[in-house]
Amino acid sequence: MESFIIETKQLTKKYKGQLAVNNVNLHIKKGSIYGLLGRNGAGKTTLMKMLLGLTPPTSGTFTLFDQTLTGHEKQLYPRIGALIETPGFYPNLTGTENLEIFARLRNLNASHTVKNALETVGLPFRDKKLFREYSLGMKQRLGLANALLHHPQLLILDEPTNGLDPIGIAEIRDFLKTLCKDHGKTLLVSSHILSEIDLLADDIGILDRGVLLEECSIKTLKEKNDNLENYFKTITGGKGIA
Ligand SMILES: Nc1ncnc2c1ncn2[C@@H]1O[C@H](COP(=O)(O)OP(=O)(O)O)[C@@H](O)[C@H]1O
Ligand SMILES: [Mg+2]
């Protein structure tokens, strides 16, 4: 049987009667990169928040590392690194100082882990720049470094390349691939940009108005469709994804 590190069963979230995530069955294989693709408002962030126990599902269940959860259990979360929306840090501290605080809170050897994590995402260690002076791209990188501090097996990253320029996007893509291929981590990454998922992921899930329209490998999807963009336009009712 295939081993899934995340599996959701009929996972559903309603906000005031409005369906944000509608009976979603996701299957994320250990050691792979899963790209969750969907327009703004499709339900990507809500889905990830449920997996992280940040908001409870209205109905449905999910398993993480083969344990069934309803969203309230916390014991598995040290095995997960997450980046949800633009991360909040202390504006008047440097990036290094911010990460040192988070490392200490997690009982990690601060200077060693912080230096490693900053290097991984291409930010300088002990730089004088304050967080409030960071560009959006630097903030995203710092958020990624924070997600990596405790060497998690599973990374849940919500639009991690948001705000980066094309070179920054390519760099982050390469390092996310390295985390998977060389370090054996599993990644769930969301994006509203088709080409980004196409270049990054092994498997793809297409979310549209809370519904998972398709889930398969990128390879299979390409074999079935000559033009991915046209295909996405067709299945999302003509509007396309990005
Ligand atoms: N806290 C909330 N309260 C009410 N509605 C919400 C809340 N968060 C998200 N929504 C709604 O749920 C839907 C899905 O949003 P979201 O998960 O943020 O999508 P995405 O991340 O794909 O852009 C949207 O219609 C959004 O307006
Ligand atoms: Mg979102």
What secondary structure letter does DSSP report for 84? -
Helix (H/G/I), strand (E/B), else coil: 176: helix
Determine the distance separating the centroid of ligand 1 and the alpha carbon of 224, expressed in angstroms.
31
140-152 residue pLDDT tens: 889 999 999 999 9
Percent of the chain with pLDDT over 90: 66
Q: Quote the pLDDT of residue 83.
A: 93
Q: Which helix (H) or strand (E) holds 110?
A: helix 110-121
User: What is the phi/psi pair of residue 165, to 5°?
Assistant: -80, 170
| pLDDT over 80 at 2, yes or no | no
Task: Indicate the pLDDT class of residue 137, thresholds 50, 70 and 90.
Answer: confident
Q: What is the sign, positive or negative, of the torsion defined by CA atoms of 95, 102, 55, 175? A: positive
Atom 16 of ligand 1, residue of closest alpha carbon? 43
Which of the two residues, 8 and 242, has the higher pLDDT score?
A: 8
Q: Quote the pLDDT of residue 227.
A: 86
22-41 residue pLDDT tens: 999 999 999 999 999 999 99
Determine the distance separating the centroid of ligand 1 and the alpha carbon of 36, expressed in angstroms.
15
Are 11 and 24 in contact by the 8 Å Cβ rule? The answer is yes
CA angle 47, 220, 42 (to 5 degrees): 25
Atom of ligand 1 nearest to the CA of 55: 1
Pocket test for ligand 1, best of 12, 18, 21, 46 (most atoms within 8 A of CB): 46
Helix (H/G/I), strand (E/B), else coil: 225: coil
Cβ 46 under 6 angstroms from ligand 1: yes
**Domains in the chain, start-ordered, CATH in brackets?**
4-235 (3.40.50.300)
Tokens for 134? 């960071």
Q: Which residues contact 9 (CB under 8 A, 6 or more apart)?
A: 25, 60, 61, 62
Task: Indicate the pLDDT class of residue 197, thresholds 50, 70 and 90.
Answer: very high
| pLDDT over 70 at 1, yes or no | no
Atom 14 of ligand 1, residue of closest alpha carbon? 43
Residue keyed to tokens 């693709």: 37
Which of the two residues, 107 and 208, has the higher pLDDT score?
A: 208
Determine the distance separating the centroid of ligand 2 and the alpha carbon of 110, expressed in angstroms.
30
Average pLDDT, the chain: 90
Mean pLDDT of 115-133: 92
Rg (CA), the chain: 18
Atom of ligand 1 nearest to the CA of 42: 22
Mean pLDDT of 7-34: 97
| pLDDT over 60 at 181, yes or no | yes
Q: Quote the pLDDT of residue 121.
A: 87
Length of the chain measured in residues: 242
Which of the two residues, 178 and 66, has the higher pLDDT score?
A: 178
Are 123 and 141 in contact by the 8 Å Cβ rule? The answer is yes
Task: Indicate the pLDDT class of residue 160, thresholds 50, 70 and 90.
Answer: very high
Q: Quote the pLDDT of residue 242.
A: 55
